Structure 1
Amino acid sequence: MRPTRWRRSTYLVVGVSVLLLVVVVVAAAALVATRQPAEQPAVEAAPAPATAAPGVVPVSDSADKPTPQGLTRALQAVLANPDLGRFTGRITDARSGDQLWAQGAGVPMQPASTNKMLTAAAALLTLDREARLTTRVLSASPGVVVLVGGGDPTLSAAPRNVDTWYRDAARIVDLADQIRRSGVDVKSVQVDVSAYSGPSMAPGWDPLDIDGGDIAPMEAIMLDGGRTQPVTVESRRSRTPALDAGRALAVALRVDPAKVTVLPSAARGTEIASVQSPPLMQRLRDMMNFSDNVMAEAIGREVAAEVGRPQSFDGAARAVLSTLEDAGIDTAGARLLDSSGLSVDNRLTAETLDEVVQAAAGDAEPALRPLVDLLPIAGGSGTLSNRYLDTDDGRAAAGYLRAKTGSLTGTNSLAGIVTDESGRVLTFALLSNDAGPTGRTALDAFAATLRSCGCR
């Protein structure tokens, strides 16, 4: 017998045997299964996958809208507070755009920092959200470098690994490193501030506010928004911010800071170093949450540059108003002398402010929707973090109300949105001039009423 034939026959016998064995095992298993006690518990089914409820519940499209009569009744008590002084306001339904309540809404009033609402809106309408400002260094002549301001107020002289006032701020040390790598032997530093024009202080600003920490002279380059103690909340501001920046670069390059000069006009030369600011949205968030006056003035000038106007107080104010007018917002009665609201000579109406909020909360201008997210939250963030926590009505509004605040001597203002207890979103703008000692808390009580009244 040949081996190959023997192997084939062997494979056939083995295959048949395996098949018979499988049949026997299956039959035995089936028999055992039929003999299991009927009461033996079955294997429990796996639990259903867990699902998370959304953290933010959309407001209902069918929620009841307050009535003008209901609002008038609910607001009578808070309106009776004499510390509101001269008071104007407007309340609007965010979804329909219907005006629900108004008092003197067309009267120009001192807006204080609610003016920043207009600056933020104009920036969102004209600038790229990722826009950054560039600070450059030029090699102008042998041994001379020029620090060229690009309008970035976040630049910092802090060493690496040391906190700065503004998150992700560019640093002087990075410019110094780039200069050293360029091979330029630096003997002196000059500062070019030509990007900005006009005066460095706006009409209606109090020079004492520099020492008070509210503002710095607006120059095209400064350190930490002009703060002399960058991580101190109560830091005063510098009176020579551009010169300070030049001296910081000189120190980093081991050059005599006493030799730093500010140029009267634009410099020319070869660029040897540059750094960039944080993106626009981050700077807008700082401006709105902390009511940063210097940041507002810098962003106003960005808007001016984008629309072809001078980077000055007047150019920025005109650029902001014209941008809003082009977007269909009524700016009648507006008189702006700055972009921050610090000037006591600014005037805005509640109608203009509410139209800006309405455009952001409604569907008319999608580009403005981020403005809602930039507003401080009552009892939770920014300039509202410590407000709305002292009364029952205030606590009821905490988390449901978002607004930009404003405060000057005798002036309190508030503009934003609130979701009432029915789930309806309302926009509002409230302006109080010649206010009494409890004017701010009276204004908060007015806005908190919008949350809890229902106002049917």
Structure 2
Amino acid sequence: MSRSRLPTAARLLLIMVLAAAAVAAGFAGSYFVRQRIDKPAATTPPPTPAALRGATSPAPAESPVPPAPVPAPAAVAEALSGVAGAGGLGSRLLAEVVDVQTGTVLYDRGATTPTTPASTAKLLTAAAVLAVRPPTARIATRVVEGTGGAIVLVGGGDPTLTAAPAGKDGPYRDAARMSDLAAQLRRAHVQPTKIVVDDSLYSGPAISPAWAPEDVPSDYASAITAVMTDGGRADPADAIRSSLPDLAAAHQLAKALGRPQLPVSTGLAPVRARPLATVSSAPFARLVEQMLQGSDNVIAESLARQVAVAENRPASFTGGAAAVRAVLSRLGVDPGAGLVDGSGLADRDRVSAASLAGVMRLVAGSAQPGLHAVESGLPVAGWSGTLADRFVKGSQRLAAGVVRAKTGTLTGVSTLAGTVHDRSGRLLAFALVADRTHATLDAETALDAIATRLADL
């Protein structure tokens, strides 16, 4: 449906009102840092573009509004001719713009060249996991009876299980709680002699050999284990995540039981062990939203392993990346062979702008609720997640509420991929990769200027 543009002052006032409401509601966020930085993220479901941009009054039933026209490729090229050469982009920009409905490529600038996607790689993981898992499904964490008086904490791969005390929030909304596991155990009168952690769902190294040495432990990444609390944090309030998050989680269970001195170790649950307690994560759609809004690497790697499990592949870095590639290929998007992790944290990940734009066209144009949840979970320009403080100055305010996109930042690399409504309401998918930059903020400003031009077509 065609949409009209609100006057700038009115649009700004509406955004300010919505933002104030969000702050009052106490929305929380997480972030992705290093020269691997995506900015603090709100975990609130963002408003639709129509909520921020405004819509025309519905036409009478007998006079339906004709579909908006597809922009001409020549018009798109002309609109982007200046901003695509901005100095802040460094010496190379790779880009593609596609009409979501028809698949028509409207702009191609080296789009098939494999390059470092940074955190826009999370779009591939998001689409793949929601293609193989129902959006309402959840991840279970269990406690079963061990031997010799032990209990076994069995990981299902939920990275958001929180060790926050009952009644207090952890880093992630709607998370399963360690305190609930402890309460179930107390009600069953379980008095363990020790706690064993069963991480056997995952295989391979817990830290990717493709990551930089400083990535773990850091405030944006931990070791990836099937049992962990609070995104790999040993304590919910910790800034730095853990290199041994599985054992840290076991210590948190001991603490929740009121017995912090209980010994902990890793091991396997007995075959057909008696179940003692179970909690479940937020639905997959919410986990994907939290990953995208906060550019959370730990959630991303955990979700890639969920794809591997569904595809009967090893739940490892290699298996997860291979599973994501296989699922997307079946859906008609060729991601190439260069993805080596699920988060984009590896400098040697290689994905083309065409693949990123293809994933965005897939999820934006899909009638499947699961896949559509990828687009609806994205940060909104000037409003939420890693785009909360972008598109808020100068002419770029034009695109506030109109652009939904995933950001990505590594040293020398800045990326942006998502969707945008043009002036007539036509939905476009785009991917922008500046992979030879010198200043992150300058690159982000230049990428935002390109997205703004697309909104102004």
Q: TM-score, normalised by structure 1?
A: 0.82
Q: Determine the structure 2 residue equivalent to 1:289.
A: 293
Q: Determine the structure 1 residue equivalent to 2:356.
A: 353
Give how far 1:64 is off: 3.2
- Structure of higher CA gyration radius: 1
Q: Which runs of 5+ in 1 are unaligned?
A: 1-53
1:433 aligned to which of 427, 432, 435: 435
Give yes or no for contact 2:301–2:342 (8 Å, CA) kept in 1: yes
Residue 413 of structure 1 aligns to a residue whose secondary structure is strand
Matched, 1:115 2:118: no
Q: Determine the structure 2 residue equivalent to 1:396.
A: 398
Stretch moving more, 65-74 or 394-403: 65-74
- In structure 2, C-alpha distance between the alignment counterparts of 1:256 and 1:187, rounded to whole Å: 12
Residue 224 of structure 1 aligns to a residue whose secondary structure is coil
Stretch moving more, 252-261 or 145-154: 252-261
- In structure 2, C-alpha distance between the alignment counterparts of 1:161 and 1:403, rounded to whole Å: 33
Q: TM-score, normalised by structure 2?
A: 0.82
- In structure 2, C-alpha distance between the alignment counterparts of 1:387 and 1:275, rounded to whole Å: 37
Give yes or no for contact 1:359–1:365 (8 Å, CA) kept in 2: no
Matched, 1:375 2:378: yes
Q: Given the superposition, is the C-alpha separation of residues 323 and 289 from structure 1 closer, same or farther in structure 2, using an over 3 Å criterion?
A: same
Matched, 1:75 2:80: yes
- In structure 1, C-alpha distance between the alignment counterparts of 2:450 and 2:174, rounded to whole Å: 38
Matched, 1:420 2:419: no
- In structure 2, C-alpha distance between the alignment counterparts of 1:366 and 1:286, rounded to whole Å: 17
Give how far 1:346 is off: 0.3
Q: Given the superposition, is the C-alpha separation of residues 189 and 388 from structure 1 closer, same or farther in structure 2, using an over 3 Å criterion?
A: same
Q: Given the superposition, is the C-alpha separation of residues 267 and 435 from structure 1 closer, same or farther in structure 2, using an over 3 Å criterion?
A: farther
Give how far 1:319 is off: 0.8
Residue 137 of structure 1 aligns to a residue whose secondary structure is strand
Give yes or no for contact 2:402–2:421 (8 Å, CA) kept in 1: yes
Q: Which runs of 5+ in 2 are unaligned?
A: 1-49, 59-64
1:243 aligned to which of 240, 243, 247: 247
- In structure 1, C-alpha distance between the alignment counterparts of 2:83 and 2:319, rounded to whole Å: 40
Q: Determine the structure 2 residue equivalent to 1:195.
A: 201
Give how far 1:73 is off: 1.7
- In structure 2, C-alpha distance between the alignment counterparts of 1:369 and 1:256, rounded to whole Å: 44
- In structure 1, C-alpha distance between the alignment counterparts of 2:66 and 2:433, rounded to whole Å: 29
Q: Determine the structure 2 residue equivalent to 1:343.
A: 346
1:64 aligned to which of 69, 82, 87: 69
Matched, 1:182 2:185: no
- In structure 1, C-alpha distance between the alignment counterparts of 2:73 and 2:165, rounded to whole Å: 57
Given residue 97 of structure 1, which amino acid in structure 2 is its aligned partner?
A: G
Among all aligned residue pairs of Structure 1 and Structure 2, give the percentage whose two residues are the same amino acid. Answer: 43
Residue 300 of structure 1 aligns to a residue whose secondary structure is helix
- In structure 2, C-alpha distance between the alignment counterparts of 1:260 and 1:228, rounded to whole Å: 14
Give how far 1:182 is off: 2.0
Give how far 1:155 is off: 1.1
Q: Determine the structure 2 residue equivalent to 1:31.
A: none
- In structure 2, C-alpha distance between the alignment counterparts of 1:211 and 1:306, rounded to whole Å: 29
- In structure 2, C-alpha distance between the alignment counterparts of 1:114 and 1:444, rounded to whole Å: 15
Q: Determine the structure 2 residue equivalent to 1:141.
A: 147
Q: Given the superposition, is the C-alpha separation of residues 271 and 149 from structure 1 closer, same or farther in structure 2, using an over 3 Å criterion?
A: same
Aligned pair count reads: 395
Give yes or no for contact 2:140–2:278 (8 Å, CA) kept in 1: yes
Give how far 1:175 is off: 1.3
Q: Determine the structure 2 residue equivalent to 1:45.
A: none
Q: Given the superposition, is the C-alpha separation of residues 122 and 241 from structure 1 closer, same or farther in structure 2, using an over 3 Å criterion?
A: same
Q: Given the superposition, is the C-alpha separation of residues 360 and 57 from structure 1 closer, same or farther in structure 2, using an over 3 Å criterion?
A: farther
- In structure 1, C-alpha distance between the alignment counterparts of 2:315 and 2:333, rounded to whole Å: 23
